[in-house]
A and B are shown apart, each in its own frame.
Chain A
Amino acid sequence: MQHTVEIPTNPEVLENLRLELRRGCLILAVLAELRSERYGYTLRKALAEQGMEIDEGTLYPLLRRLESQGLLVSEWREEDKRNKRFYHLSADGKLILKQLAAEWKSINASLDGIL
């Protein structure tokens, strides 16, 4: 039986769905950007320049999570008279990025067909 549910035309609903949709993509984007070494701020800028805006509150915890999962390696180093934490992909990270990229292409192709 079909029934109608009233959903308010609340921009918050769209925003939440949009964030949910972007969440998984961001991980892929971050991993891909870190094929070359970067520190948090430059990584964020690089992502933004390619249309993947990400706020600090999301990026830095994500970097720590990926590092604790063994996908990233980091080290503190001095640059421009300040200590910065540089991240780059680990060997496992490279492998996972390859698999995730293949998965992404497959999902993208499927969705293209569906949409």
Chain B
Amino acid sequence: MEMIDRYLQAVRFALPAAQRDDIIKELRDSILSQIEEQEAGLGRPLNEDEQVDLLKELGSPMHLASRYRKQQHMIGATMFPIYWKVLKASLGLAFLVLAAASIATAAAGKTFSESLGVLSHYPSVALMVFAWITLVFSALEFFGARFHVSDRWDPRKLPPLAKTDPRKSQFELIAQLVIQTVFGVWWLAGLHYQYLIFGPGIAFLRFGPVWHTIYWLFVVLVIVDLGLTGSRLVWPRWALGGQVSRLVMSALGLVVLYFLINAPDLFVAADASTPQLQSLARSINYGVRLGLVAAAIVNIINVVREILRLVGWRLGRIHQATVGS
């Protein structure tokens, strides 16, 4: 019987304190009644293996004890979707803040590893964000349940209908493909024949060397952009087409921006001997660099947002498959 007592001791540990003795007394009687009945049938005492089988049928001590407790949760099913969205957005925002700090570090002339080091703080920051958000939502759940907040809702205050099918029409995609082709050819040719881009301004400014260094990247960017739009045209039912395109283009854009932001001169004076033109080039470089940093931040936001959307979409599909709706 020692094994039975050890089992009951383990169950007792996880039971609600007020009912512990009572429940254990009842369970003990139930187990002993079963043993007595089995022993009467066999005509001998149960051996250890038979006792093990009997206890296994009851389930693990923690599992059995959990049945005596009310279902407990920190964040319930009503609050969870909002909690999940806020958590994802906050984790994304925390990443963006660190990414912006990392870019700022790089722009300030620090080494690549130093700039990247800023991002290494992300796990601890993310943990803190997770803890705070969970704490706040647990409090909302607790007080919301107590004051029946979810009962006070008004159908008139529901959000307006969202556009359900964000996919573009064939005509829109063809127009987009034409514009992308014209723009891509113009841009790639313009990097070599700069008057196509600068027009009369070619007399004052030229591209800095970095634009030619990363010329191949622009070629890749244009090809991928055209390829993605073409794919959406060929497979119009590709549900994730728009999201994947935006994600890939934003990620590639980030690579381009990284090189441009780190380049010493984005634009150079057409005539290096003219101090006014050099001053103009410096001012333009400064302004454009600031714009590129802003563009990098926007791109990081886009990348994170698209990743979260894709993750949400996958989760939604899994949920649908689970509930079968």
Contact = CB atoms under 8 A, between A and B. Distances in A.
Contact of B26 (A6, A40, A58): A40
Nearest to B317: A5
B63 interface: yes
Given A41-B34, A82-B32, A5 B324 contact: yes
Interface in B274-302: none
Contacts of A58: 67
B57 interface: yes
B29 A85 contact: yes
Interface string B7-24: 000000000000100110
A14 interface: no
A56 B58 contact: yes
Contact of B29 (A6, A39, A64): A39
B33 interface: yes
Contacts of B29: 39-41, 82-85
B324 A60 contact: no
B199 interface: no
A82 B31 CA distance: 12
Given A57-B59, A58-B67, A83-B25, A41 B33 contact: yes
A55 B59 CA distance: 10
B67 A40 contact: no
B47 interface: no
Contact of A56 (B19, B30, B321): B30
A57 B59 CA distance: 8
A72 B133 CA distance: 43
A113 interface: no
Interface of B: 19, 22-23, 25-27, 29-30, 32-34, 57-59, 63-64, 67-68, 320-321, 324-325
Interface of A: 5-7, 39-41, 44, 55-58, 60-61, 64, 76, 82-85
3 smallest CB-CB distances across A and B, nearest first, come from A41-B33, A61-B67, A57-B67
Given A40-B29, A55-B58, 14 more contacts: A5-B321, A5-B324, A40-B26, A41-B29, A57-B59, A57-B64, A60-B26, A60-B67, A61-B68, A64-B19, A76-B25, A83-B25, A85-B22, A85-B29
